[in-house]
Amino acid sequence: MKTLITLLITTFSFFFLTAQNDICQIDLPSTRVAAYANGEQVTFSFEYTIDEPGGVRIFARPFTNGNLTPGYGASGSPIYSGDGTGSAFFTINGGNVVVDEIRFLITTADQTATLREFYIPVTYQFGENGANNFSFTQPQEIGSLLLGEQVNISFDYNVSHPGGARIFVRPFTDGNLTPGYGASGSPIFSGTGSHTANFSINSGNNIHVDALRVTILNESQTQTLNTFFIPVNWYWSTVKISDFHAAGGNYFANGDNVTIEYDYETTEAAGVRIFPRPFTNDGLTPGYAACGSGIYTNSGSSDCNFTINGANRRVDHIRFQATNANQTEVLLEMLQPTDLFFGNVLIENLVTCPPSPARLLHGERVNGYFDYTNSESQSGRFFFRPATNGSLSPGYAAAGSPAYPVGSNAGDSYFTITSGDVIVDQIHFLLANESQSEDWGTYRFNVHYQYGDAMVSANKELAALPEHLQWQIAPNPAQQQTTLYLRSEQSEEVSILIMDAYGKVLQQPSSLQLLAGQEIQHTVDLENLGLPSGLYLVQLRGETFQSTQKLIVQ
């Protein structure tokens, strides 16, 4: 699945790229937004790569406002090792709640240490009614349709509301119902089953539907029981473009042409012109040259050539722009995702672990694995860096780059954010020759990683330490290490945070499973943390409580 290179030392920190325990793909239900009836399971699978001796356990848990969701039930974990695929599920057994994240926790096999922790954003509403497992006759990511052409939306339902419920699916544009739409009605749903709804856009040009509003009403439509929005990216117009294909692979020398092949259909009697153009980082790719356009009528297939005349460039989208015959009106403009490279360096098949989007605590790594081809006349360095709003992210630390020789192979790297509330919206590959005296360009890949301190939301009040749990720290004051002694008369999961006197988290939380009637000793390596002399806070957190003790380091 991945090839590890263990040479890398960052020029910005002294981390080494060592063995990793990674989850690199998570196959959630068809959409990250849905409604579930209480007791209905959310089931998903994931791919893992484990290097930990003795294996690991992987726990996926629902979170709401930064805390474990009340009333949840979830699958346990076997011991995972090597490479493979695992599965998990959770449910909410009662109440009306919204699960806004799934926490993935990788622990040692005995659950005494946390190895990885990250959060995947979702919006799963739990209550008395469910509408989920959506599928569409157009790809959710991009679709082009003629005016009057329908999209079918299929889904499963689980309705417990007395008297039944109605479920309506409607197109939305910029926060409002899309003008000119027509849509199917709704029968009365009760119990469980499947259904297919539809809608179309019947007038206008270049109409963009960016979301579907799913509304669950009571039988008489006098009460809204649930509403949520599913993002989509669909266009309606008098011209339709489909079956996009870039012929000849994805790697081209400067000046070589790539051929963009596509099908079209139009209801414009005078015909249309269609211009495919290369886009990079939300703008036309610098240095491009492209074909013109004839006049197209009815339906058929066509193609267009373009090239990039200089520098290493990554084309991340093809912009299709269709105009009327005399080019006075834009009838359709959409961006088709692609991954084309021009120049002498190819970086492809990028896999990031954890997958984007995700929320991470400070110090948690995003690992990157990729294939490369270096066609320059010398070795090069490819630096894997987080970026925010076009510039390198503040507070980052990252691996350096070995010298990648001429030819093709696999590489890997990582970055993290060590402080501050930071959103990483791109990964930049900074390309240079081995001595870094020549700038070979930058490749940008869109991602979404949110970094910040571990915190418990103020939306949920946490109680003091319960009577059934006792804990103490000794020695205190401490020098090189100290030990936490914990005993609980009930089985429960707790986490331990080390913070400075201002509440900043200094170490990723450690998760411990306390068994009823047993004492656990948890050692904290103060020397490894590099803590100067001073006052620190050690916090013990459970699902409904937190307790803080002072620790003096000498």
**Which of 486, 477, 488 is CA-nearest to residue 510?**
486
Q: Reply yes or no on whether the pLDDT at 122 is more than 50.
A: yes
pLDDT tens digits, 59-73: 999 999 888 999 999
pLDDT tens digits, 81-92: 999 999 999 999
Q: Reply yes or no on whether the pLDDT at 216 is more than 60.
A: yes
pLDDT-derived band at 18, boundaries 50, 70, 90? very low
Cα(461)–Cα(455) distance, rounded to whole angstroms?
Answer: 13
- From residue 52, alpha-carbon distances to 49, 84, 365, 510 in Å are 9, 14, 16, 17
Cα(145)–Cα(241) distance, rounded to whole angstroms?
Answer: 8
pLDDT-derived band at 457, boundaries 50, 70, 90? very low
For residues 228 and 550, the model is more confident at: 228
Look at residue 547 in the predicted model and tell me its pLDDT. Answer: 79
Q: Reply yes or no on whether the pLDDT at 458 is more than 70.
A: no
pLDDT tens digits, 523-537: 888 888 877 766 677
pLDDT tens digits, 388-433: 999 999 999 999 999 999 999 999 999 999 999 999 999 999 999 9
The top-level CATH class assigned to 239-342 is mainly beta
The top-level CATH class assigned to 345-452 is mainly beta
Q: Which of 36-40, 43-47, 312-316, 474-478 has the lowest mean pLDDT?
A: 474-478
CATH of 22-127, one of 3.40.50.2300, 2.60.40.770, 3.40.50.1360, 3.40.50.300: 2.60.40.770
For residues 472 and 203, the model is more confident at: 203
Angle at 382 between CA 380 and CA 384, to 5 degrees: 170
The top-level CATH class assigned to 129-237 is mainly beta
- From residue 441, alpha-carbon distances to 426, 429, 436, 444 in Å are 15, 8, 12, 10
Look at residue 7 in the predicted model and tell me its pLDDT. Answer: 30
pLDDT tens digits, 253-311: 999 999 999 999 999 999 999 999 999 999 999 999 999 999 999 999 999 999 999 99
CATH 2.60.40.770 positions along the chain are 22-127, 239-342, 345-452
DSSP 179: T
Are 21 and 52 spatial neighbours (Cβ–Cβ below 8 Å)? yes
User: Where would I find the beta strands (DSSP E) of 33-113?
Assistant: 33-37, 42-50, 56-64, 67-68, 72-74, 82-92, 97-108
pLDDT-derived band at 503, boundaries 50, 70, 90? low
For residues 251 and 526, the model is more confident at: 251
Q: Is this prediction's pTM over 0.85?
A: no
Q: What fold characterizes domain 469-553?
A: Immunoglobulin-like (2.60.40)
Are 354 and 58 spatial neighbours (Cβ–Cβ below 8 Å)? no
DSSP 526: H
CATH 2.60.40.2550 positions along the chain are 129-237, 469-553
Q: Reply yes or no on whether the pLDDT at 520 is more than 80.
A: yes
Highest averaged pLDDT of the listed ranges 14-18, 68-72, 274-278, 490-494 = 274-278
